[in-house]
């Protein structure tokens, strides 16, 4: 069984598109000479005729698709428009990273046509849309290798895709040392320098959870190593903790409704449209799910509720009566069964070789629209703006938040 991936430069940023240049014949057999053509092919096929082929794909053909917009700096401002086929839908982006999970596949790396023979292992195929349409290794972070570290003029030591893995021998690797001034001032939320204290990594260290959602991580010269590889920068950067820095992301959703209160269905998919509460981050200007760091000794459930109240409803500035109403509505929603959509490492621009972000993302859905939906949104101190936004695959969001929303949309049988 074979899957075929073809990368082409469309003439328009948005798909479907028309490309008159000579290339792949859309009607050509989708298997190498002498091979057995699969009945359903083309997990990634950038051709106008692809929807007809994609319609043949069984629902199990694509397990999941992760798409997040990479920093423009990581592409040097080059990335051309590239389209990704997901079943019978096209998505057009400029400068983005796509990750596709195939069932029982062996990873293949190359340019142009890419053939992957189905074997016994599940693998990820990651594509960084650059001027050469190169394919990245499955574990290679994108945002954690952005050339300039956020909030500074510090430039990372360049790390190519094939040198990210710590198991790859690279004697020339010389990461830049950087810890932000705000961290060096020793606020209560930050660790001191290694050597000034003895943290208990890979465990609960007093009230600080130094365990990773992804399992034990390595320690080298007394410092934890980023489980997703080299980033070109060592130290704490902007992060308070050596090792994992735990966050929680509450995804609050509702159904989009018309003036009569009926659900709005998307014209293409015919599926109901979800809306989620989104904030515009002050630190980078990107739209994101409201969330924040887990305080020492705090339960994830407490963090989820606290961060949403503070960032999306500005509860810290509310009057006592307003705060009481907010607390009542929030508690009603957050006491309901939430849908955990992600738990693990986050490809975050603040990550370093020795400190990284991890999160738990949970969806709380206001099915009737009579709970949080009726509360007026107001941006907190960490947010520039806050708004209900339609859930759609074309959104540009911070870190891997778009992946979280994709999972929510699929679980809720909503438009994506």
pLDDT digits (tens, 9 = 90+) for 110-151: 222 222 222 221 222 223 222 222 222 344 678 899 999 999
In a domain, 191, yes or no: no
275 and 132 part of one domain: no
12 and 131 part of one domain: yes
Q: Is the pLDDT of residue 4 over 80?
A: no
The C-alpha atoms of residue 20 and residue 336 are separated, in whole angstroms, by 53
| Residue 72 tokens, joined | 């423009």
What CATH number is given to the structural domain containing 270? 3.90.79.10
In a domain, 235, yes or no: no
Q: Is the pLDDT of residue 242 over 50?
A: yes
How high is the pLDDT of residue 154? 97
256 and 392 part of one domain: yes
272 and 133 part of one domain: no
In a domain, 360, yes or no: yes
In a domain, 365, yes or no: yes
Q: How many domains does the chain have?
A: 2
Q: Of 100, 116, 138, which marks where a domain is finished?
A: 138
pLDDT above 90 coverage of the chain, percent? 40
In a domain, 269, yes or no: yes
Q: Is residue 319 classed exposed, middle or buried when 0-12, 13-18 and 19+ CB atoms within 10 A define those classes?
A: exposed
Q: Of 138, 166, 183, which marks where a domain is finished?
A: 138
According to DSSP, residue 43 is labeled S
Do 79 and 94 touch, CB atoms closer than 8 A? Answer: yes
In a domain, 113, yes or no: yes
In a domain, 185, yes or no: no
pLDDT in tens, 23-40: 333 333 333 344 333 333
399 and 271 part of one domain: yes
In a domain, 188, yes or no: no
Give the residue with greater pLDDT, 106 vs 164.
Answer: 164
According to DSSP, residue 191 is labeled -
121 and 255 part of one domain: no
The DSSP-derived string for 395-407 is --BSTTHHHHHHH
How high is the pLDDT of residue 327? 80
Q: Of 85, 113, 138, which marks where a domain is finished?
A: 138
- What are the distances in angstroms from CA 41 to CA 50, 54, 302, 320? 10, 7, 45, 59
Which residues form the domain of 89?
2-138
Do 288 and 281 touch, CB atoms closer than 8 A? Answer: yes
């Amino acid at each position: 069984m074979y899957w075929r991936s073809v990368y082409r430069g469309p003439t328009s940023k948005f798909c479907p598109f028309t490309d008159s240049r000579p290339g792949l014949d859309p009607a050509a057999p989708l298997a190498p000479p002498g091979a057995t053509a699969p009945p359903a092919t083309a997990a990634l096929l950038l051709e106008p005729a692809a929807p007809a082929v994609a319609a043949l794909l069984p629902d199990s053909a694509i397990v999941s698709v992760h798409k997040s917009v990479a920093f423009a700096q990581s592409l040097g401002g080059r990335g051309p428009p590239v389209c990704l086929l997901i079943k019978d839908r096209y998505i057009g982006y400029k400068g983005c990273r796509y990750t596709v999970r195939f069932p029982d596949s062996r990873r293949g790396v190359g340019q142009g046509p890419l053939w992957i023979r189905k074997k016994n292992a599940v693998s990820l195929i990651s594509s960084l849309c650059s001027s050469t349409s190169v394919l990245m290794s499955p574990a290679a972070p994108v945002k954690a290798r952005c050339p300039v570290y956020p909030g500074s003029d510090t430039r990372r030591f360049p790390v190519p895709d094939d040198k990210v893995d710590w198991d790859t021998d690279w004697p020339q690797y010389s990461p830049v040392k950087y810890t932000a001034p705000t961290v060096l001032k020793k606020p209560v939320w930050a660790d001191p320098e290694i050597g000034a204290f003895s943290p208990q990594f890979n465990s609960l260290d007093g009230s600080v959870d130094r365990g990773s959602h992804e399992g034990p991580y390595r320690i080298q010269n007394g410092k934890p190593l980023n489980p997703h590889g080299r980033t070109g920068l060592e130290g704490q950067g902007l992060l308070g903790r050596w090792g994992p820095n735990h966050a929680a992301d509450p995804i609050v959703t509702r159904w989009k409704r018309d003036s009569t209160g009926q659900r709005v269905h998307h014209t293409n998919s015919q599926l109901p449209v979800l809306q989620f509460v989104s904030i515009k981050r002050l630190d980078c200007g990107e739209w994101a799910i409201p969330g924040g760091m887990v305080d020492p000794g705090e339960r994830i459930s407490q963090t989820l509720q606290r961060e949403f109240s503070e960032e999306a409803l500005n509860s810290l500035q509310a009057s006592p009566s307003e705060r009481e109403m907010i607390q009542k509505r929030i508690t009603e929603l957050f006491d309901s069964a939430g849908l955990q959509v992600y738990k693990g490492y986050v490809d975050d621009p603040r990550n370093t070789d020795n400190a990284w972000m991890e999160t738990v993302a949970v969806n709380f859905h206001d099915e009737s629209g009579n709970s949080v939906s009726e509360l007026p949104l107001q941006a907190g101190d960490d947010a520039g703006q806050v708004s209900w936004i339609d859930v759609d695959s074309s959104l540009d969001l911070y870190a891997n938040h778009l992946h979280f929303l994709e999972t929510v949309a699929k679980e809720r049988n909503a438009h994506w």
